[in-house]
C-alpha cells in the first residue's frame, strides 16, 4: 500500500488546520491501495485528531524526543504524541539534520523509541548538492541508513524510508524520476542486506519538491512507494491531486 504524507513544517495555526482539514475531507476520496498521512505542527495535532476521527486519514508528528519524559525544555515525547492520536513520526528530516544539528546517533535513539512506543517512523535520508556532485550519493545514504538502524536491523519492516535529495527540497527542482528510481533501488537492496529475514514490509517514499504537475511521473515507477510532500501539501486541493496520482 502506498503512503502519501504531508509535512506541513512550521505552517498552519490550529484554526488554519481546521479550515484545511474540513476542505480536504470535502474533496478527498479514499482509496484501498493507498494510505494518506497528515503531519501538522505540534500545536495543531489535537484539533487535527478530532477532525480526522472517523476518516481513514492517519495523523503523524514531524519530530519527537527519544525520552518518555524529563527535563527537556521545548521537546515532546512519543507518549504525548500517541495520546494525541499520532501513529507516525517523521525522523531525521534533512532540516532537523542540517539546521538543528541532529546526529545519526540521535536519530537512531529516536527510531528505537518509536518502535518501543508502537509508532511507525518515517526515516529521512538524502544527500546534499556537494555530496551528489562528488559522486558519493550512495555512500552517504548507506552510511545514514546503517547508523540509523544500528541495533534495530531486524525491525526494518516496521520502518518506512523517505529519500529526500537535500538539493531538491524547497527549490522547485526535483530529482528526475530516473534519479529517484536509482536511489530507491539502492535503498531497497541495502535494506534486504541489512535484514535478510525481513518480509519487505517497508515502503520507500520520494520527498523532493513533489507537485501535482510532476507526481505522476514518479508514480509510474514501482520502486516509488509514496511521497513525503512539503510545500505542495499546504493547499488541500494541491495535496489531493498528488494523492490521486496513486
Q: How many domains does the chain have?
A: 1
10 Å CB burial of residue 142 (0-12, 13-18, 19+) is middle
In a domain, 210, yes or no: yes
The catalytic residues are: 93, 164
Quote the pLDDT of residue 237: 98
CATH of the domain at 8: 3.20.20.70
In a domain, 151, yes or no: yes
In a domain, 75, yes or no: yes
In a domain, 243, yes or no: no
Quote the pLDDT of residue 129: 87
Quote the pLDDT of residue 172: 67
pTM of the complete model: 0.96
Strand-pair partners of 123: 91, 161
In a domain, 238, yes or no: no
In a domain, 242, yes or no: no
Across residues 145-160, what is the average pLDDT? 97
Quote the pLDDT of residue 31: 87
C-alpha to C-alpha distance for 113 and 132, rounded to whole angstroms = 31
The contacts of residue 150 (CB under 8 Å, 6+ apart) are: 108
What is the band of 170 on the pLDDT scale with cuts at 50, 70, 90?
Answer: low
Across residues 16-26, what is the average pLDDT? 98
Tens digit of each residue's pLDDT (9 = 90 or more) over 58-67: 999 999 999 9
Tens digit of each residue's pLDDT (9 = 90 or more) over 174-209: 688 999 999 999 999 999 999 998 888 999 999 988
The domain of 173 spans 2-233
The Cα diameter of the chain in Å comes to: 49
In a domain, 245, yes or no: no
Amino acid at each position: 500500500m502506498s503512503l502519501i504524507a504531508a509535512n506541513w513544517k512550521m505552517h498552519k495555526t490550529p484554526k488554519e488546520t481546521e479550515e484545511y482539514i474540513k476542505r480536504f475531507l470535502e474533496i478527498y476520496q479514499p482509496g484501498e491501495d493507498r494510505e494518506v498521512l497528515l503531519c501538522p505542527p505540534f500545536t495543531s495535532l489535537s484539533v487535527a485528531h478530532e477532525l480526522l476521527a472517523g476518516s481513514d486519514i492517519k495523523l503523524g508528528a514531524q519530530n519527537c524526543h527519544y525520552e518518555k519524559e524529563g527535563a527537556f525544555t521545548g521537546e515532546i515525547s512519543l507518549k504525548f504524541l500517541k495520546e494525541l492520536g499520532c501513529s507516525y513520526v517523521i525522523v531525521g528530516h534533512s532540516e532537523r539534520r542540517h539546521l538543528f544539528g541532529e546526529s545519526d546517533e540521535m536519530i537512531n535513539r529516536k527510531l528505537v523509541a518509536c518502535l518501543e512506543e508502537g509508532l511507525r517512523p518515517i526515516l529521512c535520508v538524502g544527500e546534499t548538492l556537494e555530496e551528489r556532485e562528488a559522486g558519493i550519493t550512495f555512500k552517504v545514504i548507506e552510511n545514514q541508513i546503517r547508523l540509523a538502524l544500528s541495533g534495530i536491523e531486524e525491525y526494518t519492516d516496521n520502518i518506512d524510508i523517505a529519500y529526500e535529495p537535500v538539493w531538491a527540497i524547497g527549490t522547485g527542482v526535483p530529482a528526475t524520476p530516473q534519479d529517484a528510481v536509482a536511489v530507491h533501488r539502492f535503498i531497497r537492496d541495502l535494506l534486504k542486506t541489512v535484514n535478510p529475514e525481513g518480509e519487505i514490509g517497508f515502503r520507500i517514499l520520494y520527498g523532493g519538491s513533489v507537485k501535482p504537475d510532476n507526481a505522476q511521473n514518479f508514480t509510474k515507477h514501482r520502486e516509488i512507494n509514496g511521497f513525503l510532500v512539503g510545500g505542495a501539501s499546504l493547499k488541500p486541493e494541491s495535496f489531493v491531486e498528488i494523492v490521486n496520482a496513486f
